[in-house]
Amino acid sequence: MIHGMLLQVCTFSYQGYVHVMKRNYRKAVYRFTGIFTLFVLLIGCNSKPQHVVDQEGKSYPVVKIGSMNWMAKNLDVAHYRNGEPIPEVRDSTEWANLTTGAWCYNDNKVEHGATYGKIYNWYAVNDSRGLAPEGWHVATDAEWSALATELGGEELAGGAMKLVSAWKGAERAKESGFNALPGGARRDTDGGYMVPGNYSRLWTSTELNQKAAWARSLGYFDTVLRKGKASKKTGFSVRCVKD
């Protein structure tokens, strides 16, 4: 009888011990989970803005819009990803007759490059040696369309993309961090320039046909992000997206 009572007491004590251990374990797990979550949040709050470095060592800020990471500055490289140089072409007639990759500064002024980056023809965009940094690519037509959707549709996206302080007469909008600038362009017909200040022209990597590819356009006078085709000989700015 005594032996049976001792067995019951021992069993009860063991079950109670297990219950306490389980309860303490759950508390420890909850406490650890809370601490870990707080740690992650603190890391996120104190993390520095993202940047990407190109093949020449230049750094570009990165902005995440929707699920895509975009460069928040126009591309500014004079070499392909494999290290081979991209020719700078200043002469207007030579530019208008090119069928290979090239770049220039708007109006052939180096000081424009510091602000607006370089202008490229589409042959440079499409060159197999790679124009974008490692792990990045020139934005496709579909990616530009997705960006427009994220920013409220084509009618509003241009306003959200602009760095408003850089555009004359730009409508005040909630800026997305894309920081589009009025970098101008270079014509395909005569190699002349659309000087900076009023317009932005940006390539996509998507070909339309043998002579043309898709591009995007912003103007000082409204908030629209326009899609259009352009001759591959035209000179536009370039933005890249992370792979």
Q: Decide if 64 contacts 170 (C-beta within 8 A).
A: no
Instruction: Tell me the pLDDT tens digit for each residue of 50-95.
Output: 999 999 999 999 999 999 999 999 999 999 999 999 999 999 999 9
Cα–Cα distance measured from residue 8 to residue 10, given in angstroms and rounded to the nearest whole number: 5
85 shares its domain with 69: yes
125 shares its domain with 153: yes
Range of the domain at 97: 51-242
| Among the listed residues 214, 211, 210, 209, the one whose alpha carbon sits nearest the alpha carbon of residue 229 | 214
Q: How many domains does the chain have?
A: 2
Q: Can you tell me the mean pLDDT for 156-184?
A: 89
pTM of the model: 0.80
Instruction: Tell me the pLDDT tens digit for each residue of 8-51.
Output: 434 434 444 434 444 554 544 444 444 444 333 333 433 455 99
82 shares its domain with 31: no
76 shares its domain with 96: yes
State phi, psi for 182 to the nearest 5 degrees. -80, 75
Cβ atoms within 10 A of the Cβ of 199, count?
Answer: 17
154 shares its domain with 221: yes
126 shares its domain with 202: yes
30, 47, 64 - which closes a domain: 47
What residue spans of the chain are helical by DSSP H? 2-46, 92-96, 110-116, 122-125, 141-150, 154-161
